[in-house]
Structure 1
Amino acid sequence: MSEKTILVIDDSSTIRKLVDTHLSPAGYHVVLAANAEEGLEIAKEILPDLILLDHQLPGTTGYEVCRQLVDTPELCQVPVVVSSTLRKKAYAEYVEMDNVVDMLPKPYTEELLRTTVGNALDTAAMIVTSQAAGTAVPEVIHQTGEAALSGSLACFGIRELLDFLNNGQKTGTLEVEADRVRLRFHLGRGRIQAVYATGLSSEQIEAIAGQLPASLATLAPVLKMTIGGRSCAEVDGFVQLLDQKVLDPRLMSKLLRFQAAMLVRLAFSKKLDAFRFETTPSTNTLHQNLPLEISLLALLVEGELIAGNVQETATEDRRYARVAIRGQNLDRSGLGARHLKLLQSLAEPRSVDELVAALGWQREEVTQVLQAFVQADLVQPQSASSGTPFVVFEPDAARARTLRASLDKADSTHRGKVVRDRLALQLVFKRNPPRHLVFAADVPEVCQLMHQMAERHPEAFARITRIAMIEDPRQMSDDLWQQRLGFVPDIVLPQPCTATDLLEAVQTTKPPQQAPAQQPPAQQVSVQQAPAQQAPAALVGGKA
């Protein structure tokens, strides 16, 4: 902050020392005078920015000093704050004094002293001028007017709002209200630079500080100052120490990142009410010098890794699938490649156990990162018993489009997709093999691919239910199927296949690995099962 000169005229040595002790560390240049005569002489010499004047002085009063200041051309515009233990009785005397801008009742706290002085310096020139001219002053100074964006968070989440600002590369401050707490996200070109909060109780601040990692534990007192986002002298002092290389900026960056992660986690644990986004630049020097340049997703993951509750996601009968976000490029700045790998592994639903086996992580880390993705609405939990996954391989564009449309309209808990090319099919099997494979057996290229898959991966291929689609299933026999595919399909559906036939086959048929060992695939339950002597494979939706 720019150094302002404060002249203190007070006969109490205790008051002079108190003011000097509290204002000097705040960046003010404090000059002390023990009586009126000395104070007026010093005022002419230094031309202070503000005079803090005692009402009762030896041999005179503050009122007489104010009159002399007004009568001195070079001092008539210097603002004065009068301080007294008499309070209302003293205030009445200064009603007609244009240079008196505020009153400071004794005794006062350090916070009241600093607030009164700061406000007087910000408003002094306007108040002195308006009082001299007899005009009214505005109720609010530096008023920003209407917010660039504001509203309620009743119908959408904070992640959607921050995504919108990120995609627009907006710079400004997003303030979110939650009960009595107000959270402020400072954005630079759409990315989070800092997160602060006001209205936190002392217990909440202590709880956050108590979760500091061992490497940052000694900075707990600093966190209690920075968490509110105030540009106080202590914080400005930290910035100077960083500039002078006395403090390690990496350590402070870690502290600010921890602070942001914990406040973001707090935001997602509360019912959010309203928001307001303003494009006015921030004056906080700390995050201007140490911007985080991070995404909401990275902060959510970090918050869960620090303080996540594993029990929230450690449910056995649950699978997780990635949710597609339309029309946006999700910002993942600050999210490590390790945790991004988990997100990429969820193109198909997977359980926690499957992810632990695939990634080789500890179960605790998997569940914590999953919880962060669920909070961000990027991953959706599903009941493992709600349906079985299937994939339909149909290269014909018209038939694939018709089947996909009918599946979208169908009321079913079973999860499936229709793919048209070999690469898409291989990608599905690589990420998360389905329990049922449905394929167009009347297409030679498809039959050739099925034959290759059965030969190259016999164990994996045998663990899924193989459902063939063909125009006339009655013409096929076991020998013909063996020649065409290298195996006999478990279920045969007529082409063109309908969603009803397909879903009924999936619903009533268990994958081979779940079926009793003594039950051959050809005798699995189907809607209409052909007699064994006519078609060994189960026939669904056709006539024997």
Structure 2
Amino acid sequence: MKTATILVIDDSATIRKLVDSHLSEEGYHVELAPTAELGIELAQELLPDLILLDHQLPGTTGLEVCQQIIAIEKCSNIPFVVSSTLRKQAYAEYLQIPNVIDSLHKPFQPDLLKMTVANALETASMIIQSQSSGAAVPEVINETEKAAISGDLTCFGLREIVDFLNNGQQEGMLEVESARYRTMFFLSQGRIQCVVSPSGDQSLVEQRLPEALKDLSPLLKFTMSTGFSAQMDGLVELLDRKMLDPRLLRSLLRHQAAVLTRHCFRSELQSFSFVAGQPVPKLFRRSPLETSLVSLLVEGALSAPGSELDDPEAMGWTRQGLRGQNLDRTGLAARHVQLTSQLDGPPQSARQLAERMQLPTEEVIRVLDGFAMADWVKTEPLVEQKTALVLEYDPGGSSLFRKYLAEDSNPWSGKVVRDEFGLKLLMKRTKPDVLVLSIPDDAPLAVPSNILADMETLGVNARVGVILSANHPAVDQESAPGVEAVIRRPYSQRDIDIAMEKLAGVSIPEAQVVNA
């Protein structure tokens, strides 16, 4: 790879030191000339890619030096950037010289210096040729291809656009734009290959770098660009020579993609465009991510500051449709894939899910945050779960209760048994909120004494309902103390609903009281 050579002709030691320091950091080869005579000599010797020329030189002017240099045949195409404290007044003198393509007003900031030099190197040959021939100078360099599809993001979400393109196996560049930033997703074979943002905030990515990657933070100025530059070619060359650890670089690129993707989902996006066939930049072809949107969103959530996360205690998480995705190809960690299997059924809090998965609660909160951005999960109000144990001798009644307790639409869970021994075993294992007991026709209308004794021994303080035949007399607190709900045979699912609501403490309109 050829390194661009910059010749600085300036009598100020301060300016020479500043330019040398900052341009060398950018990978340029810098040569310094404190006098016009040495500058003209070095120009012939080095044939630099660009000359940064001071307008006010001892005994002469930058204009005279420029004219002398370009009069030399082999130096006739060298581009110049003129620097001066006189601003427009000085630059006006160079308007008729095609080799002078830009000006740099003193005093200047290092960032402006770098930007001016980079732009001059990229556009110099085209501008010199255009001005020498009198042709019009193009407004845009490397004008982008026409977008295959484009639109605003007020009707569609970014997730929908990415899914649409990946499901269609589209290859190209998806560009999304907010008020301040542009972010590009390069897609191929239904996967995200890289994410870059030339105008993005580098510090956003840098601040969230894990400790193992902090030494690579200077590379972000290159990896966040679209990748078509001499500096990026240098990184590729380092990879080819095995002077840069490809595993660490891949981790850096993945972290960058995760942070930028999350930032897009948290920003107010304005528009999108997709350029089909736009190739993945060379560096990312050497180290493609081959990942999914949800994987990047989860990784972005794992590195996000705690202030961005929210876990409402009164809300639970439940699964949404995953649109037929193959979870094995998402790029998610195995434990995070397993978490999705715990999200079927009624909503669960992050703490409950963490206990079931034996994972840190904070990790589960972060993963769920990423899932929510991908529309994989949603939050719903938590319903307090209650436990019921049912003693029912009748097979038909047992079947109805099992069906009721298995439904996700009610707050009940529990077991149905057909003998008192089984009931006692279950009371040992759990402390039920409710007991529903079947009373035989020939038994007295009361909670059996042995069951009462077991409840006292085991510390069970449950509300009690009973199942009676149609022949049993009416029930009241005097005839059946402690009984709070009665179900008469034959009964239906609706009868169970009303009785269980009553046992849960829900007020029941008198017209709905079950055959009491």
CA distance in 2: counterparts of 1:138 and 1:67, whole angstroms: 26
SS of match in other structure, 1:300:
helix
Match of 1:259 in 2: 256
User: What's the CA shift for 1:334?
Assistant: 1.7
Q: Give the 3 Å change call, closer, same or farther, for CA 87–384 of structure 1 in structure 2.
A: closer
Q: Does 1:273 align with 2:261?
A: no
Measured against aligned partners, the alpha-carbon deviations of 1:358-415 in whole angstroms (never above 9, x if no partner) come to 4343444333322322221122333455999xxxxxxxxxxxxxxxxxxxxxxxxxxx
Report percent identity of matched pairs.
46
Match of 2:215 in 1: 219
Gaps of at least 5 residues in structure 1 are 389-428, 438-452, 464-477, 479-514, 524-530
Q: 1:229 aligns with which of 206, 225, 231?
A: 225
CA distance in 1: counterparts of 2:469 and 2:223, whole angstroms: 67
Match of 1:472 in 2: none
Structure 2 residue identity aligned to 1:520: I
SS of match in other structure, 1:97:
coil
Query: Is the CA contact (8 Å cut-off) linking 1:321 and 1:349 kept in structure 2?
Result: no
Following superposition of structure 1 onto structure 2, how do residues 291-330 of structure 1 map, counting pairs within 5 Å? Answer: 291-307=288-304, 312-316=310-314, 318-325=316-323
Q: Give the 3 Å change call, closer, same or farther, for CA 433–107 of structure 1 in structure 2.
A: same
Match of 2:32 in 1: 32
CA distance in 2: counterparts of 1:272 and 1:337, whole angstroms: 32
CA distance in 1: counterparts of 2:76 and 2:322, whole angstroms: 67
Q: Give the 3 Å change call, closer, same or farther, for CA 299–324 of structure 1 in structure 2.
A: closer
CA distance in 2: counterparts of 1:174 and 1:140, whole angstroms: 20
Query: Is the CA contact (8 Å cut-off) linking 1:522 and 1:538 kept in structure 2?
Result: no
Match of 1:154 in 2: 154
Q: Give the 3 Å change call, closer, same or farther, for CA 81–522 of structure 1 in structure 2.
A: farther
CA distance in 2: counterparts of 1:93 and 1:325, whole angstroms: 65
Following superposition of structure 1 onto structure 2, how do residues 233-244 of structure 1 map, counting pairs within 5 Å? Answer: 243-244=240-241
Query: Is the CA contact (8 Å cut-off) linking 2:347 and 2:381 kept in structure 1?
Result: no
Match of 1:365 in 2: 363
Match of 2:473 in 1: none
User: What's the CA shift for 1:305?
Assistant: 3.0
Q: 1:346 aligns with which of 343, 346, 350?
A: 343
Q: Give the 3 Å change call, closer, same or farther, for CA 314–187 of structure 1 in structure 2.
A: same
CA distance in 2: counterparts of 1:71 and 1:356, whole angstroms: 76
Match of 1:167 in 2: 167
CA distance in 1: counterparts of 2:468 and 2:311, whole angstroms: 36
Q: 1:519 aligns with which of 449, 466, 473?
A: 466
CA distance in 1: counterparts of 2:249 and 2:468, whole angstroms: 64
Q: Give the 3 Å change call, closer, same or farther, for CA 209–134 of structure 1 in structure 2.
A: closer
SS of match in other structure, 1:107:
coil
User: What's the CA shift for 1:245?
Assistant: 4.6
Q: 1:434 aligns with which of 398, 401, 407?
A: 407
CA distance in 2: counterparts of 1:192 and 1:275, whole angstroms: 16
Query: Is the CA contact (8 Å cut-off) linking 2:309 and 2:366 kept in structure 1?
Result: no
SS of match in other structure, 1:253:
helix
Following superposition of structure 1 onto structure 2, how do residues 27-66 of structure 1 map, counting pairs within 5 Å? Answer: 27-66=27-66
Following superposition of structure 1 onto structure 2, how do residues 281-296 of structure 1 map, counting pairs within 5 Å? Answer: 281=279, 283=281, 285=283, 287-296=284-293
Following superposition of structure 1 onto structure 2, how do residues 371-410 of structure 1 map, counting pairs within 5 Å? Answer: 371-385=369-383
Match of 2:330 in 1: 333
User: What's the CA shift for 1:539?
Assistant: 8.4
SS of match in other structure, 1:293:
coil
Match of 1:407 in 2: none
SS of match in other structure, 1:518:
strand
Query: Is the CA contact (8 Å cut-off) linking 2:183 and 2:200 kept in structure 1?
Result: no
Query: Is the CA contact (8 Å cut-off) linking 2:315 and 2:379 kept in structure 1?
Result: no
Normalised by the length of structure 2, the TM-score is 0.67
Q: How large is the Cα RMSD of the aligned pairs?
A: 4.5
Q: Give the 3 Å change call, closer, same or farther, for CA 372–519 of structure 1 in structure 2.
A: farther
SS of match in other structure, 1:519:
strand
Match of 1:504 in 2: none
Query: Is the CA contact (8 Å cut-off) linking 2:318 and 2:344 kept in structure 1?
Result: no
Query: Is the CA contact (8 Å cut-off) linking 1:153 and 1:275 kept in structure 2?
Result: yes
Following superposition of structure 1 onto structure 2, how do residues 126-137 of structure 1 map, counting pairs within 5 Å? Answer: 126-137=126-137
CA distance in 2: counterparts of 1:362 and 1:334, whole angstroms: 21
Structure 1 residue identity aligned to 2:321: V
Query: Is the CA contact (8 Å cut-off) linking 1:70 and 1:76 kept in structure 2?
Result: yes
Measured against aligned partners, the alpha-carbon deviations of 1:13-45 in whole angstroms (never above 9, x if no partner) come to 443443333333323333333444443344334
Following superposition of structure 1 onto structure 2, how do residues 358-507 of structure 1 map, counting pairs within 5 Å? Answer: 358-385=356-383, 433-434=406-407
SS of match in other structure, 2:8:
strand
Query: Is the CA contact (8 Å cut-off) linking 1:323 and 1:380 kept in structure 2?
Result: no
